[in-house]
Structures are given as structure tokens and as C-alpha cells.
Amino acid sequence: MAEVTLIDKQLLKSFVPPSSLNAENFQELAAKAQVESVVNGKVIFKQGDIDRKTIYLLSGEVEVVAATGQITIVKAGTDIARHPLANFQPRKHTAKAKGDCKITRIDSDLLDILMTWDQLSGIEVDEITAPDGAGDGEDGEGDWMTRILQSKAFLQVPPANIQAIFMRMQDVAVKAGETIIKQGDDGDYYYIIKTGKCKVTRASKTGPELTLATLSDGDAFGEEALLTESKRNANVIMITDGTLVRLSKEDFNELLKEPNLTWVQNAEAERMVREEGAIWVDVRLESEHKNSGIPGSINIPLFMLRLKLESLDPVKKYILYCDTGRRASAAAFLLSEKGLQAYCLKGGLVERGGA
């Protein structure tokens, strides 16, 4: 069996977007980034390929040929080599080694999940808030339901879906000190607090565990891992005895997530921008946006989204995009919860063909 050589971590740290990952996610990526030697003249990928790989040049030179015949020479160590090689699906270019070189092929879905999980750090919680005065009655049993039904997330859900949601929700009795969600676990349920209080914490590699939030009746949590199909990025621990209601991942996606997401193909998105004044929003990192952002788009990285909500015009339509659509769908769900008109570019930039 051939010996596997992993990429030097310092070199991996120079690439965009891996350089932005936190330590834990970076280590997970580095453990799977293998070095591949490519001999002179060998094709790395060809136009039309669908390989779901993000490829970086580690050493040497690569010749990238566009469909028009235009040739670009990418040299390792240059600024352009900090970004993936012609990162579109299906491939719009053919790339072959110009002399012996070394590359790494990273699973695009893994990188995208790590990026999404990383940028959602600290916002595992969706604190649903009702209008002032809602849920203040004496009927404690109805307070949580009132807050949920008056939240903007549920206002966009068809009535039949709402009925199905409440029919499929399961009551779960919980005790003080019980861990409901454990950081690093797979996402399985979306939770709403019927009665009781809990705290949201995150493990820290550099110090004591951090408490991010305290939640009570009517607050919801756990949707981010379901939206992004990634690991839980926080712990949720009961402070008091109480009762939760939970919705399975499958029911959440069918009844709550999809009604809050509107996907548009590139042609329709461009028409909306041109005729309706819709605004492109790149939810990737600033470095990614500078390299391959759609002209005229604004850049609000996913991790900054909640801080920037107040700057967005509720009258405007926003078309969110990233490389694949994963980060954009998480962002669109968050915007829709706040009553903004959010759309997702289907397939992301890799299927659009770049800026």
C-alpha cells in the first residue's frame, strides 16, 4: 500500500478559505488533505468534469486552458495559487501539469461543511421573539406556542405545515443538568422550550467553557446543524427541570426549512437584479469574495449576518450565494426568520460558472 503524505499545515494555512478555519476545523481538514504528485503533461481535470474536489497547487506550475483557448499559467506560491484551481462544476477549464508538480484534492463538500460550521460558531441558537406583550398571559401552557406562531419563521409556513409540525412534535421531559445537545454530535432534532430554562455553552481549547446564552419558554435551538448537515457547534444543558418539544431532522427539513427557502436559477436571479432591483449578497469570506465575487454584489460573511441584519432593507429582495449553496441556504433561513425577502442561488458559483 502506497504511503500517504499529508500536506504541510503551514502551507495549507496559506490557502483561501482554509486559512480562516478555527483550530479544530482546520485540524480536521488537514488530516484529510493528501499530497498528490503529478508528472509533466498529465491532465489534472478536464472541461466538463464533475469531481466535487477543491484543488490547490502546492509546488510547480499548472496550465489552465479555458473553452476559448485562453491559457493561464498558475505558479505555486503566487497570489492566484492561494485560491483553488478554476473551481467550477462542471469544470469550465482543462488543467494539466506544466512540468512535475504537486497538488492536493480536498473534498469540496467537506470544506464547505467546515466553512459553514465555522462561520455559524456562536449562533447555534435561534432565540424566537414574539411581539411585545405576546405570551404574557396566565396560561403558561400556551405561552410557548403563542411565541412560536407569532415568530416570523412560522409566518412563512403554510397553515397545513403548521398543523403537521404540531402533530409531529414530541414532548420530552427533561431534568436540571441534563445535556440536550452535545458539541460535536450529529444534528438530529430541532427543539423548542415548552417550560424551563437552559444554557448554551461552547468548549474552549484556550480556557474554561464559555456560556453563550440562556434560553427559556418559547426559545428554539438546534437548527443550524440541520440546515448545514454538520456537527453540533455548542452544548445545550438544562438549568431547571422542564419540558421540550422536538421535531426530527426529516420533519424539520420538510415542514419548516423548505417553506422558508426559495431557490432561484442564475437566469432568474439575474432578471430579478436587472428588473426588480434585487441585490446579490455573497455570504463567503471577504478573501473569497475578492477573488470570485459576482460584480455588483455586496459581501456579508455568514458569521457577520446577524450583526448586519439592521442594515438590510426589508423592502429589498436579496439573492444570497456561496460556492455550493450550503452557506447561502443557512443565511437565507436566518434572513427569512427575520422577515426579509431572501433567495438562494441554486448550485452556487461552482454551477453558475463563476463571476
Residue 193 pairs in a beta bridge with 244
- Quickly state the pLDDT bin for 41 (edges 50, 70, 90): very high
> Average per-residue pLDDT in the chain?
85
In the predicted model, is pLDDT for residue 165 greater than 80? yes
Q: In whole angstroms, how large is the CA radius of gyration of the chain?
A: 23
- Please write the tens of the pLDDT for every residue from 194-208: 999 999 888 766 667
Q: How high is the pLDDT of residue 319?
A: 97
Q: Which three cell numbers stand for residue 222?
A: 438546534
Q: How high is the pLDDT of residue 310?
A: 83
38 or 201, which is more confident?
38
Q: How would you classify the pairing of strands 36-38 and 101-107? A: antiparallel
Considering the chain, what percentage of its residues have pLDDT values greater than 70?
Answer: 85
Q: Which three cell numbers stand for residue 202?
A: 461552547
Q: At what angle do helices 23-30 and 108-119 cross, to 10 degrees?
A: 170
Q: Which three cell numbers stand for residue 236?
A: 445545550
Helix (H) or strand (E) holding 157: none
The predicted model gives 220-229 an average pLDDT of: 75
Output phi, psi for 111, to 5 deg: -60, -40
In the predicted model, is pLDDT for residue 239 greater than 60? yes
How many helices (H) and strands (E) are present in the chain, helices listed first?
13, 21
Torsion, CA 186, CA 325, CA 281, CA 274, rounded to 10: -150
In the predicted model, is pLDDT for residue 214 greater than 80? yes
Q: Alpha-carbon distance 284 to 322, whole Å? A: 6
Q: How would you classify the pairing of strands 263-264 and 341-345? A: parallel
Which pTM does this prediction carry? 0.63
Order across the sheet with 61-66: list the strands: 43-45, 93-97, 61-66, 71-75
Q: Which three cell numbers stand for residue 1?
A: 500500500
Domains identified in the chain and CATH numbers: 9-118 (2.60.120.10), 122-259 (2.60.120.10), 261-352 (3.40.250.10)
Closest CA to 163 of 260, 255, 227, 259: 255
Q: How high is the pLDDT of residue 46?
A: 94
Q: How high is the pLDDT of residue 11?
A: 96
